[in-house]
Amino acid sequence: MPRILVTGAAGFIGMHTARRLLQRGDEVVGIDNLNDYYSPELKTDRLAVLQDHAAFQFRKISLEDRDAMRDLFATQHFDRVIHLAAQAGVRYSLQNPEAYSDSNLTGFINILECCRHHQIAHLTYASSSSVYGANRKLPFHESDRVDHPVSLYAATKKANELLAHSYSHLFGLPTTGLRFFTVYGPWGRPDMALWLFTQAILEGKPIRVFNHGHMRRDFTYIDDIVEGVIRTSDRIPTACATNTDDPGDSESTAPYRLYNIGNNTPVPLLELISCLEQKLGIPAIMDLQPMQPGDVEATYADISALQTDVGFSPDTSIADGTGHFVDWFIASDASRYTRDSA
């Protein structure tokens, strides 16, 4: 039974990933700092789902706490690490940049150092489609240059990929970075469009639709993301002698990989809103807004590397995925997590 560390276990993707690992019989230690970027109650309720499993342990730890991280690795003896904790959000990085340097940079260095010194067999970590920044060539491929981030969040995620490559090259630490594309589904984040739209429509309030609705996103359902995370975690990368040490490539002469995980189907924002209107039986009141700083018009994942190497293709339709989210949102009275802050 592998012993796996899942960072960000109280987060959206972290909770779902930890639960799937527990269901298949793995032993999971989860860490999270339970910060108040969004409702700590939501994070606590996610953890309650995991704490029903005897093979799950939780530790409240901040990634940037070097001593706590060193003690965790020294005492727990992990086989693998799935690193999903980070300060999330593009827009919040304009208000609180220090939170991103603490968690996404200092915290990631601490993860790398602990993995290096404790002979972790494989570090799988979350990157983001936001690294593609101002790129206009679609679909986005892992070998595309990503030198023009349009948000601090994106810059920290690109920095993670570069740091991981250096540790793979210098110390032989196997690392795999996963560029997630607009993840959504039950237990999602209250700051994401799907949650904001659903709650506003139910309450008869207008929804803010940026770039006047002319946006497309490669929305990827949470179950597909988790399947991709676990499959890539199970596949430990090796050096590729036929390639160069180019950290922009999905392969390297180091034991290093990068993969897009997206639905490979960009969806217009207005189509997402239409799916919600049909599921809820309520028309949306749209407040059309200009493009926001740090945002991009379209995302679209080329997943050919994931298909070839891992044998997996996300395929949940936007209609099915939004339906599952709305069912959960209503059944769990999810709006309670944001009522106090509204």
Distance CA 332, CA 289 (A): 31
Residue 314 · residue 129 · CB < 8 Å: no
Distance CA 268, CA 53 (A): 39
Number of other residues whose CB lies within 10 A of the CB of residue 58: 18
Residue 261 · residue 303 · CB < 8 Å: yes
38 is catalytic: no
By 3-state DSSP, what share of the chain in percent is helix, strand and coil, each rounded to 5? 45, 15, 40
Distance CA 210, CA 202 (A): 20
Residue 222 · residue 183 · CB < 8 Å: yes
Residue 78 · residue 3 · CB < 8 Å: yes
- Which stretch of DSSP H or E encloses residue 175? strand 175-180
Reported as half-sphere exposure (CB side, CA atoms, 13 A), residue 124 has a value of 23
Q: What is the DSSP letter of 298?
A: B
Q: What is the DSSP letter of 55?
A: T
Q: Give the 3-state secondary structure of residue 5.
A: strand
Rounded to whole angstroms, the maximal C-alpha distance in the chain is 58
Distance CA 317, CA 265 (A): 9
Planar angle of CA 267, 249, 129, nearest 5 degrees: 30
Number of other residues whose CB lies within 10 A of the CB of residue 50: 23
Residues 6+ positions from 337 with CB-CB distance below 8 Å = 38, 39, 41, 42, 190
Torsion sign across C-alpha atoms 188, 328, 279, 303: positive
Catalytic, out of 38, 100, 153, 259? 153
Residues with a catalytic annotation lie at 153
